[in-house]
């Protein structure tokens, strides 16, 4: 979603604001802007498109104020243009906002009746007008913000500055994440620690409903009831160096290539390789007492959960229900007391997942989460947190976070299966050793990408692409299709291979490439039959497999031979080839790989 940054500094803040916004580009955006307090007045610069356009504006008309706020906008209300770009200004107030104000229409009608004039289509402008109107009534900035916040419905993170107040900034959070940073005589606000990393490593994460009054000597934080509260200061591990592309053309390429390392870290956190077992102390759960698991997530994280359903039911012999968070939260599913609800999210701020978590908590479920950001909302509201160790993921299309999620779920499945007596010590050792080999398998795949480049060049000319898989390979087919359409904009669909004859086979002709995820497992022969059905109808098949290519023979147009993998570990390994196919296809097509159109990294609104 949108990125927010604010600085109460001791010198001109325009340059640092732009650099901080650059570190938030991974969230996705369509316009950008900054506003500062200069000689007691507000001034701002905004531009449609990428940050370079904002930099050009600042080169032509610099801002020199020491207090300022900045924003990268991902449009929700109103077109992505300069008029709708943040910051918004009304009288002596300037606001940047992440989220959606659900009752903005009612508020706008009321404000217009009182004579306030609107110049944008955004919901954010009502916030600026609300505060400005309250200020005109004689309220202080703090009083005006507090009264205005009580009128807002929806999710938001706000940073607000005021004309005539060089040493004041107010931040507020409801739903959308926001952090405060502490410097030496300076204060900062940011959507996350990555934005603030070059300025400070001392961070306070606002709780839901908090609002804070910042001055250069510190911050006073109040909760939703207006009570002054203390929130913990933590040392952030985020670093400006972590978001460098290194020698790679795109962040996505860098993150694909980081997978052997981050998977090694994640697996080492949960496994004792020397003993060939899962370190069950890493799970803050009564593993043997779990009788039922409900998994909920969105997007790529949902596909990780879908793989988890196969693993948990097969190896832990425990019933698992899984649903997309945006569906589950509204169908009010009945839940038996004592079950565990497991939530999967890279950012830990996904709005639908967080809302579903709260529903499950009300239903008496033990809440566990798999997240990449330990300080996130989902992590803080979970009874048990299972961290991934992927590090910051900048590319919008998830790669290393996905495989790290799979790694954690795989370890959890083994741990529960062992605790429940469904996995022997010998089998545990076998599965742990299979996981231990995954980083090496992925390194082997990444050594030579030429075959992926060749096939991707052909895929870049396709209009439609189908992905097929069986068993745990079915979610990988879904994920492959999602990756391709996310970053190349080619229409792609994933199907369970056994469903081919129930409709999708009608789509097959010589113009539709078929990607088949076909590891050498107990379902391979059935998958091979599906390949033959496709070829018989003129389909152009590319097979991802560790089976003997001669067994497939001339049935496939392309065979990508992969390392021999234990069937348990195939989802982790086979995720990488579908990532590479999507990446190189998008590169050939010249799309914005790291920031694909209409998408955002952290979806903090419905």
Report the alpha-carbon angle 82-88-90, nearest 5. 130
Cis, bond preceding 87 (omega within 30 deg of 0)? yes
Closest CA to 329 of 354, 310, 308: 354
Candidates 174, 309, 483, 601; catalytic one: 601
437 is known as an active-site residue: no
Gap between the Cα atoms of 603 and 217, Å rounded: 33
SS3 at position 229:
strand
Closest CA to 455 of 589, 314, 558, 324: 558
> Are 535 and 556 in contact, with CB atoms under 8 Å apart?
yes
Q: What are 43's strand-pairing partners?
A: 36
Q: Are strands 366-371 and 384-387 parallel, antiparallel or unpaired?
A: parallel
Gap between the Cα atoms of 135 and 127, Å rounded: 12
In the chain, the largest separation of any two C-alpha atoms, in whole Å, equals 82
Sequence-distant (≥ 6) Cβ neighbours of residue 499 within 8 angstroms? none
The dihedral sign for the CA sequence 82, 84, 90, 93:
negative
Phi, psi of 599 (to 5 degrees): -110, 155
298 is known as an active-site residue: no
Q: Are strands 187-190 and 179-182 parallel, antiparallel or unpaired?
A: antiparallel
- How many other CB atoms are found less than 10 A from the CB of residue 228? 9
Gap between the Cα atoms of 203 and 223, Å rounded: 18
Sequence-distant (≥ 6) Cβ neighbours of residue 350 within 8 angstroms? 297, 298, 301, 325, 378, 602, 603, 604
Cross-sheet strand order for the sheet of 293-297 = 320-324, 293-297, 340-345, 366-371, 384-387
SS3 at position 286:
coil
Candidates 2, 57, 360, 411; catalytic one: 2
Gap between the Cα atoms of 1 and 76, Å rounded: 10
Phi, psi of 60 (to 5 degrees): -80, -35
10 Å CB burial of residue 337 (0-12, 13-18, 19+) is exposed
Q: Where in the sequence numbering do the catalytic residues fall? A: 2, 601
């Amino acid at each position: 979603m949108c990125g927010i940054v604010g600085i109460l500094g001791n010198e001109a803040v325009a340059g640092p604001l732009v650099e901080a916004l650059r570190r938030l580009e991974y969230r996705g955006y369509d316009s950008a802007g900054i506003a500062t307090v200069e000689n007691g007045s507000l001034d701002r610069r905004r531009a449609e498109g990428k940050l370079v356009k904002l930099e050009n504006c600042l080169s032509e008309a610099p801002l020199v104020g020491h207090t300022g706020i900045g924003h990268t906008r991902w449009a929700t209300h109103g077109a992505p243009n300069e008029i709708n770009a943040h910051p918004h200004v009304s009288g002596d107030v300037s606001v940047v906002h992440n989220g959606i104000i659900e009752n903005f229409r009612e508020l706008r009608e009321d404000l217009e009746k009182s004579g306030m004039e609107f110049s944008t289509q955004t919901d954010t402008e009502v916030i600026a007008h609300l505060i400005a109107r309250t200020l005109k009534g004689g309220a202080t900035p703090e009083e005006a913000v507090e009264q205005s916040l009580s009128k807002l419905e929806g999710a938001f993170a706000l940073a607000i500055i005021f004309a005539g107040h060089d040493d004041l900034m107010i931040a507020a959070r409801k739903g959308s994440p926001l952090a405060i940073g502490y410097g030496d005589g300076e204060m900062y606000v940011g959507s996350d620690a990555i934005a603030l990393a070059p300025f400070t490593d001392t961070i306070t994460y606002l709780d839901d409903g908090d609002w804070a009054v910042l001055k250069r000597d510190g911050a006073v934080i109040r909760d939703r009831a207006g009570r002054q509260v203390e929130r913990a200061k933590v040392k952030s591990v985020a670093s400006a160096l972590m978001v460098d592309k290194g020698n790679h053309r795109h962040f996505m390429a860098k993150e694909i290539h980081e997978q052997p390392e981050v998977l090694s870290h994640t697996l080492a956190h949960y496994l004792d390789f020397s003993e060939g077992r899962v370190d069950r102390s890493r799970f803050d759960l009564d593993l043997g007492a779990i009788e039922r698991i409900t998994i909920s997530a969105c997007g790529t994280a949902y596909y990780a959960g879908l793989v988890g359903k196969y693993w948990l039911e097969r190896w832990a012999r425990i019933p698992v229900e899984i649903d997309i968070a945006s569906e589950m939260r509204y169908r009010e599913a009945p839940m038996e007391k004592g079950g565990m609800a497991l939530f999967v999210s890279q950012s830990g701020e996904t709005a639908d997942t967080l809302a579903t978590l709260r529903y499950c908590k009300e239903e008496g479920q033990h809440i566990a989460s798999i997240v990449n950001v330990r300080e996130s909302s989902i992590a803080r509201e979970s009874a048990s947190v299972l961290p991934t160790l992927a590090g910051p993921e900048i590319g919008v299309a998830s790669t290393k976070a996905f495989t790290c999620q799979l790694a954690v779920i795989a370890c959890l499945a083994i741990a529960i299966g062992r605790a429940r007596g469904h996995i022997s010590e010998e089998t545990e050792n076998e599965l742990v050793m299979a996981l231990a080999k995954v980083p090496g398998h992925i390194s082997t795949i990444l050594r030579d990408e030429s075959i992926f480049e060749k096939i991707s060049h052909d895929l870049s000319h396709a209009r439609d692409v189908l992905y097929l898989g069986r068993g745990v390979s079915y979610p990988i087919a879904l994920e492959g299709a999602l990756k391709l359409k996310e970053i190349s904009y080619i229409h792609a669909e994933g199907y369970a291979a056994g469903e081919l004859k129930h409709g999708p086979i009608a789509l097959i002709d010589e113009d539709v490439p078929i990607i088949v995820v076909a590891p050498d497992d107990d379902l391979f022969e059935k998958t091979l039959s599906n390949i033959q059905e496709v070829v018989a109808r003129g389909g152009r098949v590319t097979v991802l497999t560790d089976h003997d290519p001669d067994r497939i023979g001339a049935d496939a147009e392309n065979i990508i031979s992969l390392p021999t993998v234990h069937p348990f570990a195939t989802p982790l390994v086979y995720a990488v080839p579908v990532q590479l196919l999507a990446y190189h296809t998008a590169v050939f097509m010249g799309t914005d790989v790291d920031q694909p159109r209409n998408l955002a990294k952290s979806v903090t609104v419905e």
